[in-house]
Chain A
Amino acid sequence: MSEASRREVRAGLEPCLARLWRYALILSRANDVADDLVQATCLRAIERADQYAPGTRLDRWLFAILRSIWFNEIRARRIREGGGFVDAEDALSIDGAHAIETNILAAQVLKAIGQLPEAQCETVLLVYGEGYSYAEAAAALSIPIGTVMSRLAAARAALTKLR
């Protein structure tokens, strides 16, 4: 069991890196912090591989670890140290060259998502980016489903102003 867990966690980290980084960026709004957060998550996952049940969603287990490290450790420390937060305005942006390759709308939408309040932004990522059901998002965020609904509605309402 624990051997299987370790193996699955080890093998599963690499394919999850980009998505972990995206989640870390959404939470931290800072590239360097996102890198560190992903690194800390991988380390913690390896340390606690025994707690992972093989065959279950490794990605979601990793997300939970990442979220816990962010809220309980990094973010908490920043608040204690009075470091404050990065201005979210331009945190989520697509670099110019890539924006042209993909499309301008994506860049605009991303910027608008970056301007949403922290909690809305995270909920949007989990539901629309990661495919969590409302119930799954509620469980992951430890909030009622009604709060998931109101956050998503507020986010969409804000995005209607893009047009």
Chain B
Amino acid sequence: MTDDDADLVALIDNELDETTKSALLARLATDGQLRARYEALREAGAPIAASLDALLQQAPVARLRAALPAERAAPAPQRRFAGIAWRELAAGIVIGLLAAGAAAWVALSLAPREGAEDWRSAVAEYTGLYTNETFSPLNPDAALQAAELSAVGARVGANLTPDKLALPGLRFTVAFMLSFEGSPLGAIAYVDPEGNPVMFCVFANQAPDAPLRSERRDDLSLASWSRGGRSFLVVGRVPEERALALAQTLEKRV
């Protein structure tokens, strides 16, 4: 390490104040040895970020997720999220990536409502909790996407593949299982370029066929239909027409 190293590294990191920067640039213009040192330090640092990112891939996320503590105190029942107890919400956070193709399985019991129809309300309220930071960091590769979708598809009796579920303008982030009143509910989370979550849910509820319809609830748009003993729902903080268009695309494929 030389006396100039700290300034050279700060220059590389674009952290040098203007005065020091000007002086250092002037010296670099004339001093070959200093330039060589600058290059050596720059090259040495170039692979650091990628190397640290490689470490992230090794994080035992499934194990850490499973260890997330459950919330003890439930909020007062009159709250907007009364339908989902906080303890269950903790389980809901335990979503996501599957380790080595094995299903990360969450039996989340969304609290019973007035009727089977209200699974959509429960999902909508749950979706309201997600922010544009919830799913954005998840970026599964093709193999993991396929494994997750296949596992979720098997539980809800649908053939789910990355191709079928690819949606324009949205990025797949994770597929996971919930349950509502004892029936399996598969959830697939997408994000738009700003990170806003859009959920596609498949609920094996044995409901009679129903045509596609859309609605607004608070700031969420919902588009849903039922077919073949399963109900489907697209929900997200997007315009109603967009939710409807996404649902129309999925209706043809799933």
Contacts and interface: CB of A to CB of B under 8 A. Distances in A.
Q: Do A and B come from one complex?
A: yes
B59 A21 contact: yes
A42 interface: yes
Contact of B55 (A25, A42, A134): A25
Contact of B9 (A8, A15, A22, A153): A153
Interface string A3-26: 100011011111111111110010
Nearest to B42: A156
Contact of B48 (A11, A46, A107, A109): A109
Contacts of B57: 98, 102
B1 A154 contact: yes
B78 interface: no
Contact of A12 (B10, B15, B134): B134
B241 interface: no
Interface string B76-110: 00010100001001100111100000000000000
A35 interface: yes
A133 interface: yes
Nearest to A94: B54
A157 interface: yes
B68 A14 contact: yes
Dominant secondary structure at the A interface: helix
A interface bracket (residues with beta carbon within 8 Å of B): 35 or more
B52 A128 contact: yes
Contacts of B40: 160, 163
Q: With a 10 A CB-CB cut-off, give which of B7, B54, B61, B71 has the most chain A CB atoms.
A: B54
Nearest to A137: B15
Nearest to A154: B1
Q: With a 10 A CB-CB cut-off, give which of A8, A10, A156 has the most chain B CB atoms.
A: A156
B121 to A, nearest CB: 18
B123 to A, nearest CB: 15
Contacts of A154: 1, 5
A50 to B, nearest CB: 12
B137 interface: yes
Contacts of A35: 60, 63-64, 67
Contacts of B206: none
Nearest to B1: A157
B133 A113 contact: no
Interface of B: 1-2, 5-10, 13, 15, 40-41, 43-45, 47-61, 63-65, 67-69, 71, 75, 79, 81, 86, 89-90, 93-96, 129-131, 133-138
21 contacts: A10-B86, A10-B89, A10-B90, A11-B131, A11-B134, A12-B131, A39-B69, A106-B47, A113-B52, A124-B52, A128-B48, A128-B49, A134-B15, A152-B9, A153-B1, A153-B5, A153-B9, A153-B41, A156-B41, A157-B5, A160-B44
